[in-house]
Structure 1
Amino acid sequence: MKILHISDLHFPKKLPLFSLRGKAIVGYLSYRLRRKSKHPLVLVSAMIEAISKLEYDALIISGDLTNVSHPGEFQNAKEILRPLLTDKTFLIPGNHDRYQKRAIGPNPLFEKTFSEWMGDSLDPKLYIRSKKIGGKLFLGWDSNYAIPRITANGYVAPEVIEKTMHLVQEPYVLVCHHPLWNPKTEIESKAHQMTNRTEVVDKLKVCPPELYLHGHTHTNWVKLPGPSASFPIVNSASSTRLSDRNHECGFHLIEMEKSISYRRFIYSEDKFIETNPIFYEESEGVI
């Protein structure tokens, strides 16, 4: 099973200011002034081209396709991803896809746009999504919620974890936007991290995943199995961002057989090239 994992795509889209409300105005201005140049269209095109040439069984996207969850951004993201959206694709939302309350509501914009590739809902009241691809079970959680403050916290309700542990009957890959572990060099602020991730890791011990795929922090890593989290944790954020001294960006191609192997791809000189994955022992970071 070859799993291609991308995350935090933040596709650029020019929006009229009058169409924005509340914190979306601040968020969009921040994007235009500070982050737009970090996600150039040429890189986005190069990523789509690179992925189209790779052989994989499943394409996993762990959220943040948009910047401020504007309706126009969702349609833009769908158009850009269209060459890659097949029955091999499974995706979940990130905090920027839930940036505004109006993006959630009774008919969430993410679901409205991407429901075909989100798998099946396993509970009418809880966000637990399931999709079988090539015989492998993928489960998705939504760790995001829209709040008026300019924060990016995540949270997974205990009942979501417990229901997942009750339902799962076979090996699975878990996909969620927020990290469960960070290297000591990439510690998240209290306004950015999943607030109950220690609880999440503890409850997952009942039936741990084979692999945990996430994004949110814009630098790549692979945390190897350890005493607290017995499964690898892989961060492929941001797959569409220019790397710099503080951000090692790109995406991963993961092969799961009797053991798990990792390939990493980064943007360099107008194309994506293969480079070494960034591995950490669990002791080199924190849960």
Structure 2
Amino acid sequence: MQPYRFAHLSDPHLPLAPDRPRGLQWLSKRTLSYQSWQRRRRYAHTPAMLGAIVDDIRAHQVDHWAVTGDIANISLPGEFRRGADWLRSLGDGRQVSYVPGNHDAMVPVDFADGLGLWADYLRGDGQGEVSFPYLRQRGPVAFIGANSGVPTAPLLAQGHLGPEQRERLGDMLADAARRGLFRVLMVHHPVAEGVVSSRKGLTDRHNLRDLLARTGAELLLHGHAHRANLSMIRGPLGPIPSLTAPSASAIGYHHDMPARWHLVTVDTDGPDWQVQVEVRGVESQGTPVKALGGWRLRLPVAGA
């Protein structure tokens, strides 16, 4: 089998300007988040940094892009339109897989004016409509996208999957295992304990971890924390790597980690998956994107 290479990046947080809340849009959680953007976050994320990360990914000619949420900042219609343009700049729906983040779901938005504009990047194989979770097979890899982005109360940034989504997810993971695929589960909110505070956590992460302990997966991909993290989740054949990426547009302002992305190479060696994760990014603002480290993982093939 030829090695299959894909990029994992997260939390691009495209510039909010020229948008701002108007009229009744001020009477929502958007107001506090807009103030946060104006005071701090617009300085923390820059198009130049995101452009450098995207250019580095392009230079590596990856087979697929996995993006784990938060194109938007406060879920304004203009952000979804510009987000659609940005996704198209990476590739079409066959080349790019996306899952929503909490900033993409800050408040309820009509599907046609919101996530519907990104539908080509959210649909599973054979799906006519967007439905979560989804599964897209690309080479030996099953990219499985779950949606943890839900509107929450002010000052909270939690995520939630819910029992229906978890039930379908269990069926997808089990079916992909029977087909001998390398299962990559994409969820914006980290699943491991301690990566983010409870105020920002996945509320049903314990249920999801119980599910993964039964069905397994080969790799979990997350964003949301704005910091890098590699944790291990219990699986039926051994630990499951749970990989969190910082924001792809972050300059390292205050407590945020500077931008990084993950180059993941999947290959086989006998009965096992051989996985190489190369961490690429910047050490600080103004420095070039380069290799910062990485891991080699040997993972058993489910159903082998």
**TM-score relative to the length of structure 1:** 0.86
Candidates 87, 94, 99, aligned match of 1:92: 99
Which residue of structure 1 lines up, in the alignment, with residue 71 of structure 2? 65
CA displacement 1:3-51 (0-9 Å, x = unmatched): 2000011111212342633111211120121111111121122122212
Partner of 1:115: 119
Count of matched residue positions in the alignment of Structure 1 and Structure 2? 273
Confirm whether residue 248 of structure 1 aligns to residue 257 of structure 2.
yes
**Aligned residue in 2 for 1:284:** none
Q: Partners of 2:233 and 2:202 in 1: how far apart? A: 20
- Show structure 2 runs of 5+ residues with no match: 268-272, 297-304
Cα offsets for 1:42-100 (capped at 9, x unmatched): 11221222122112111100100110011111222232343212322110100000011
Larger displacement relative to structure 2 (164-173 or 60-69) = 164-173
Alignment RMSD (CA, Å): 2.5
Asked if 1:209 is matched to 2:221, the reply is no
Given residue 4 of structure 1, which amino acid in structure 2 is its aligned partner? A
| SS of equivalent residue, structure 1 residue 145 | coil
1:28 paired to 2:23: no
What letter is aligned with 2:142? L
CA distance in 2, matches of 1:166, 1:17: 41
Equivalent of 2:142, from 137, 143, 166? 137
Contact 2:68 2:100 in 1 (8 A): yes
Match of 1:232 in 2: 241
- For 2:151, which of 146, 160, 174 is the aligned residue? 146
The question of 1:192 aligning with 2:203 is answered: no
Per mean C-alpha deviation after superposition, the further-off stretch among 68-77 and 161-170 is: 161-170
Moved more, 261-270 or 198-207: 261-270
CA distance in 2, matches of 1:182, 1:88: 31
Matched, 1:260 2:287: no
Corresponding residue for residue 16 of structure 1: 20
Q: Secondary structure at the match of 1:8?
A: coil
The question of whether the paired residues in 1 share the 8 Å contact of 2:123 and 2:131 is answered with: no
* Aligned residue in 2 for 1:283: none
CA–CA distance in structure 2, aligned partners of residues 244 and 146 of structure 1: 26
Report whether the alignment pairs 1:223 with 2:231: yes
Structure 2 residue identity aligned to 1:242? I
Provide the C-alpha distance between the structure 1 equivalents of 2:130 and 2:122, rounded to a whole number of angstroms.
16
Q: Which amino acid aligns with 2:265?
A: E
Change (3 A) 1:113 1:123: closer
In the alignment, structure 1 segments of 5+ residues that lack a partner are 280-287
Could you tell me whether the CA contact under 8 Å between 2:8 and 2:262 is conserved in 1? yes
* Structure 1 counterpart of 2:67, one-letter code: I
Pick aligned residue for 1:159 from 159, 164, 179: 164
Counting only pairs closer than 5 Å after superposition, residues 261-280 of structure 1 correspond to structure 2 as 261-267=276-282, 268=284, 269=286, 271-277=288-294
Q: Deviations over 1:94-138 (max 9, x none)?
A: 00000111x2x454612x211112122879896211111124211
Name 1:80's counterpart in structure 2. Answer: 86
Report the counterpart of residue 190 of structure 2 in structure 1: 179
Secondary structure of 1:120's aligned partner:
coil
Please tell me whether residue 41 in structure 1 is matched to residue 56 in structure 2: no
Q: SS state of the match for residue 190, structure 2?
A: coil
Q: Secondary structure at the match of 2:240?
A: coil
